[in-house]
Amino acid sequence: MTKSNNHWPDSSAGLSRRSFLKGAGAGALALSLGPLAGPWVQAAETITIGMANPLETFFGQAAEKALLLGIKQINASGGLLGKNLDLITSDTAGRPDQALLAVEDLANRGADFLTGFFFSEALIGTIPAIPVVRKILLDTGASTPVLTIQVSKDYNNFKFFFRLGPVNSFFLLQLSVGFVRDFLEGKLGWKKIVLLAEDSAWTKPITDSFQTLLGAFGSKVQVVDVIRYAESTTDFTSLFSRAVKAGSDGLFTIMAHTGTRPTAQWAAQKVPLPLVGINVQAQQGNFDQLTNGAAESVVTLTSAARAPVTKKTIPFVDDFAAFSDVFPQVTIPSYNAFSSYDALFMLKEAVEKAGTLPDNEANTDKIIAELEQFGALKDGKPTDLFVGTTGHLGFYQRGEIGVTPLMPKQAFPHDLRFGPGLAGGLWIQWQSGKQQVISPANLKTAGFVLPPWMR
């Protein structure tokens, strides 16, 4: 069963409960387990965006709010090719099996384009559906490189997939290693770290190669222990003791699904190690409340924040906070809210350039070709970059290799380019209940602080 969205914007946004329930009946939506109705559905009144996400989570709600905000703005300015946009949603529940059904559900209900996803395992679960539904799918939350590798291996069946954020796991690793070298080692003088990673698909490329890449990047920092823990872990006491005994300068976290529990226990136990790294839960605007104030001094990588990443970033953050049509309690955009908003407006630009809707595969290919032009190489440099909220965005091309030192012969077509001036991210630290940017220097809003018990 999929879950319907109980929050509905005003009719001026071109959205309605009627359009959501069209073809589904007035009760709960029964998910068809039979053959799909067919990948090409004539769009009569509206252009429908289908979002698949864990709907009951902060990240699902933030992504949905960002899409509804963007849809309202687009519809208010004349729509897309003269048509209003509409949004339908389907719940992945964070599971691979349910994510597969969610994609089929959205296709059966007439979605013209697909977007969403948060858990990498859930995105991987959609692989069988992509060649069948044959609809453009814009990933805005999962970092696994598996899908873009599929684009490289089987373009005809996976050309529909594009990643709008975050950058893939290998690039997240490079960003993390760069932060360790330039900031933790270069500015704070750290010499040893312990990796604390949840045991999930997206973290394995990072933990497996962290020490090797530190050496390749010219860093002398040593990874003195790698602690991978099950997502069901409830007591982190022994893991913290192990990290302290290893003689580390700090804990470098690599966690998406489980950041709240270890953070709360870390603060309660006054673990004498700073907590820095990738902690996706710490990107939530209410993380300080969720951890009862334990967020103080926690550092995480994120895609964007209220800083002048581009000319669009601060206006989006402020518009998101003021947009109260849905989820008024969600006031700070998550990383996938930024990328969802960017995906919508990049798609709008590509559709307008193509001058067509995806009502058959030939027209879908025209839109795909326009999406591929974002970041296309000219004289070895990416061109036609889309100005998003998270940076100047474009995609790697088919056959373009050597983009990561970890897999130099692997191409990642339709994956988000990263680097200075492109996509990547920034590092924020919780200070006095607020998210402050500590790196890069040109976006800095505060300096690094130690946990209260270490000051």
* Domain residue limits, the chain: 11-166+315-393, 169-302+438-454
Mean pLDDT of 260-267: 96
Structure tokens at 241: 């003791």
Share of the chain above pLDDT 90, in %: 82
Residue among 95, 78, 61, 137 at smallest CA distance from 330: 61
Q: DSSP letter string over 196-246?
A: EEESSGGGHHHHHHHHHHHHHTT---EEEEEEEE-TT----HHHHHHHHHT
Give yes or no for residue 330 having a pLDDT over 60. Answer: yes
pLDDT digits (tens, 9 = 90+) for 66-89: 999 999 999 999 999 999 999 999
Please state which of the ranges 33-42, 164-173, 174-183, 352-361 shows the lowest mean pLDDT: 33-42
pLDDT digits (tens, 9 = 90+) for 159-168: 999 999 999 9
Place 40 in a pLDDT band, splitting at 50, 70 and 90.
Answer: very low
Give the pLDDT confidence score for residue 45 in this predicted structure.
84
Domain 169-302+438-454 has CATH 3.40.50.2300: yes
Give yes or no for residue 329 having a pLDDT over 70. Answer: yes
- Domain topology for 11-166+315-393: Rossmann fold (3.40.50)
Give the pLDDT confidence score for residue 426 in this predicted structure.
94
pLDDT digits (tens, 9 = 90+) for 207-222: 999 999 999 999 999 9
Place 27 in a pLDDT band, splitting at 50, 70 and 90.
Answer: very low
Give yes or no for residue 42 having a pLDDT over 50. Answer: no
Report which DSSP code applies to 418.
B
pLDDT digits (tens, 9 = 90+) for 438-452: 999 999 999 999 999
**Residue 24 to residue 401: CA distance in whole angstroms:** 45
Beta bridge partners of 437: 428
Place 182 in a pLDDT band, splitting at 50, 70 and 90.
Answer: very high
Alpha carbon of residue 142 to chain centroid: 5
Mean pLDDT of 372-391: 96
Mean pLDDT of 286-299: 93
Structure tokens at 161: 């997939």
Place 421 in a pLDDT band, splitting at 50, 70 and 90.
Answer: confident
Give yes or no for residue 10 having a pLDDT over 60. Answer: no
Q: Tell me which H or E stretch contains 150.
A: helix 146-153
pLDDT digits (tens, 9 = 90+) for 98-135: 999 999 999 999 999 999 999 889 999 999 999 999 99
**Residue 181 to residue 387: CA distance in whole angstroms:** 29
Place 285 in a pLDDT band, splitting at 50, 70 and 90.
Answer: confident
Give yes or no for residue 297 having a pLDDT over 60. Answer: yes
Structure tokens at 344: 């919508």
Secondary structure of residue 82 in the 3-state scheme? coil
Give yes or no for residue 8 having a pLDDT over 60. Answer: no
Give the pLDDT confidence score for residue 44 in this predicted structure.
52
Please state which of the ranges 1-10, 50-59, 103-112, 359-368 shows the lowest mean pLDDT: 1-10
Answer yes or no: same fold for 11-166+315-393 and 169-302+438-454: yes
Secondary structure of residue 210 in the 3-state scheme? helix
Please state which of the ranges 96-100, 199-203, 222-226, 328-332 shows the lowest mean pLDDT: 199-203
